[in-house]
Amino acid sequence: MTMRTGIIAKLLFAAIVCGALAISFAARARELPAGRLVRVETFAAKDSVLAGERLPVRFTVQYPESLVFLPPAALPAGAYAPVSAGWTGGGPSKGTKRADGTMIIYTLDLQAAHVPPMKLLFATPSGDTMSAWTGDVRVPVRFATADTSRVAPLKSQWEAPRSRLWLVLIAAAAALIAAGLIWWLRRRKARAAVEPARPELPPDVVALRELARIESMKILDGGKYKEYYTLVIDAVRRYVEGRFGIDAMDKTSDELMGALERIPVSIEGFDGMLREADLVKFAKYVPGIVPGKRLMESARRIVVETTPREAETIPAGRTAVEGS
């Protein structure tokens, strides 16, 4: 009797342990790779996009009827701004289900529109979780070019009239224009000899005055980020042109930074300012008021730090303190 009671007690203890383990495994669902059970197709609607153009990205997911598709709650992080995203489910077909997803974005990168792989989850009847991944999408960004097919052909050359009267009138008009031009040049030369030449302001004074004028216009408070960034960057470009003798206004951002590499002075942060301004002007990037104010501070810092400091000198015949 005692032996039988011990055996029963051991069996009960083993059953309790097995039940506890089963409950523990059921409560802690595992995440398993979907493998060949799930098929995911990813494709972009366009081979290339213009800067700031919207790009649709589509996903097709096929999975067994036994699984439950859990649409992703968040989008993968990347250099893009989402416009819309959503999933629609299809009916079962031959033991499988289908889910279609559409994601519309526009890129914040001037090189390529990139959507990283996105994790998809599926629930199994046993309570486990299976995962699959979408493909990596990368579409190059191009800029608008002129359509040469619409250029009209050149017109035929103008033929001068044969009447001598036209020749006389043209010669008389040319003589009057030449006489007027000679009179104007002589008058300008005489005025320049009388009036003293106005001193030209240094590039740093001109730049700081222009930045102060832009700030007083309150463009940033009105949300006109493209106009604001254009004015600030152009003011710094004109300063660089006047200070270092570089044709800064007609160069792209990359060309300007390449030219600045050949000067002995390092302009810290200018490259980042140019990149941020290109995103605002060409990729419709909305930076906000705080980054806009930070741009103005960086512009003033560049002007102040790159302005040469000359030692103050005292003219001959004067002491350090006037009147002493």
Backbone phi and psi for residue 27, each to the nearest 5 degrees, phi listed first = -75, -30
Confidence of residue 26 (pLDDT cuts 50, 70, 90): very low
pLDDT given for residue 28 in this prediction: 45
Counting residues of the chain whose pLDDT is more than 90, the rounded percentage is 30
Question: Does the predicted model carry a pTM greater than 0.85?
Answer: no
Strand arrangement, sheet containing 137-142 = 49-50, 137-142, 112-115
Residues 113, 105: contact at Cβ < 8 Å?
Answer: yes
pLDDT given for residue 45 in this prediction: 84
Is residue 195 predicted with pLDDT exceeding 60?
no
Secondary structure in 3-state letters for the chain: CHHHHHHHHHHHHHHHHHHHHHHHHHHCCCEEECHHHCEEEEEECCCCEECCCCEEEEEEEEEECCCEEECCCCCCCCCEEEEEEEEEEEEEECCEEEEEEEEEEEECCCCEEEECCCEEEEECCCCCEEEEECCCEEEEEECCCCCHHHCCCCCCCCCCCCCHHHHHHHHHHHHHHHHHHHHHHHHHHHHHHHCCCCCCCCHHHHHHHHHHHHHHCCCCCCCCHHHHHHHHHHHHHHHHHHHHCCCCCCCCHHHHHHHHCCCCCCCCCHHHHHHHHHHHHHCCCCCCHHHHHHHHHHHHHHHHHCCCCCCCCCCCCCCCCCCC
Determine the distance from the C-alpha atom of residue 43 to the mean position of all C-alpha atoms in its chain, rounded to a whole number. Answer: 23
Q: Which residue has the higher pLDDT, 110 or 160?
A: 110
Confidence of residue 9 (pLDDT cuts 50, 70, 90): low
Is residue 294 predicted with pLDDT exceeding 50?
yes
Residue 242 has a CB neighbour count (10 Å cut-off) of: 17
Please name the amino acid found at residue 306: T
Backbone phi and psi for residue 82, each to the nearest 5 degrees, phi listed first = -75, 140
Q: Which residue has the higher pLDDT, 177 or 29?
A: 177
Tokens found for residue 69? 């598709």
Beta-bridged to residue 84, according to DSSP, are 104
Range of lowest pLDDT (48-52, 184-188, 225-229, 247-251): 48-52
Please give the Cα distance from 58 to 42 (Å, whole number).
6
Q: Which CATH architecture has domain 31-141?
A: Sandwich (2.60)
Pairing, β 68-70 against β 31-33: unpaired
Q: What is the mean pLDDT of residues 69-92?
A: 79
Q: Read off the pLDDT of residues 98-144 as tens digits, 9 standing for 90 and up.
A: 889 898 887 777 788 888 898 888 888 888 888 888 988 888 888 65
Nearest to 235 by CA among 222, 223, 262, 217: 217
Where exactly are the structural domains of the chain? Answer: 31-141, 203-305
Q: Read off the pLDDT of residues 246-289 as tens digits, 9 standing for 90 and up.
A: 999 999 999 999 999 988 888 989 999 999 999 999 988 999 99
Nearest to 63 by CA among 87, 84, 86: 87
Is residue 30 predicted with pLDDT exceeding 90?
no
Nearest to 287 by CA among 279, 297, 296: 279
Beta-bridged to residue 120, according to DSSP, are 132
pLDDT given for residue 39 in this prediction: 86
pLDDT given for residue 320 in this prediction: 34
